[in-house]
């Protein structure tokens, strides 16, 4: 984080204690190995990435809806008083959940595959923080 000049917003440790995830101010989600401190996974959730995906047509989202979401995301990104976004592990430690402008992403960090986006149809809501009860 010091190399990237980024500030952490939240930190969560996996249930088995082998990994931890840091959600940072620069819209990056970083998964580290706890024992070695090495970066294992990195997910860029910045507005620029979503804008490029929308232009490429991979998001399959209405332009008006996407424009509203992107404007709100930029407002959040530039706000000094925005509540911190977080990322967390499920009880198995294999899935990582974090809020994005599309909804809540569920990523299998063992296979590095996006498994699901929850709340994508919610056009008026932007999930900011998560809590998980299992």
Spatial contact of 102 and 65, defined as CB atoms under 8 Å apart:
no
Q: What is the pLDDT of residue 40?
A: 96
pLDDT tens profile 87-111: 999 999 999 999 998 999 999 999 9
Assigned domain for 106 exists = yes
Structure tokens at 56: 């490429």
The CA–CA distances, whole Å, from 88 to 5, 25, 26, 79 equal 23, 16, 17, 23
Residue 14 belongs to domain spanning: 8-46+84-118
Structure tokens at 61: 């989202």
Assigned domain for 78 exists = no
pLDDT tens profile 18-76: 999 999 888 899 999 999 999 999 999 988 999 999 999 888 888 898 889 888 888 88
Assigned domain for 32 exists = yes
Could you tell me the CATH number of the domain that includes residue 106?
Answer: 2.40.10.480
What radius of gyration do the chain's Cα atoms show? Answer: 15
Assigned domain for 17 exists = yes
Assigned domain for 126 exists = no
Q: What is the pTM of this model?
A: 0.88
How many separate domains does the chain show? Answer: 1
């Amino acid at each position: 984080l010091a190399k990237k000049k980024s500030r952490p917003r939240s930190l969560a440790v996996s249930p088995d204690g082998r990994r931890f995830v840091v959600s940072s101010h620069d819209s990056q989600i970083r998964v580290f190995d706890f024992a070695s401190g090495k970066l294992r996974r990195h997910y860029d959730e910045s507005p620029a990435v979503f804008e490029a995906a929308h232009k490429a047509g991979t998001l399959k989202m209405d332009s008006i809806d996407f424009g509203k979401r992107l404007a709100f995301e930029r407002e959040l990104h530039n706000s000094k008083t925005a509540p911190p976004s977080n990322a967390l592990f499920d009880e198995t430690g294999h899935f990582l959940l974090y809020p994005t402008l599309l909804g809540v992403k569920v990523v299998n960090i063992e296979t590095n595959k996006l498994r699901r986006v929850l709340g994508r149809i919610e056009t008026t809501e932007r999930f900011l923080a998560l809590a998980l009860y299992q």
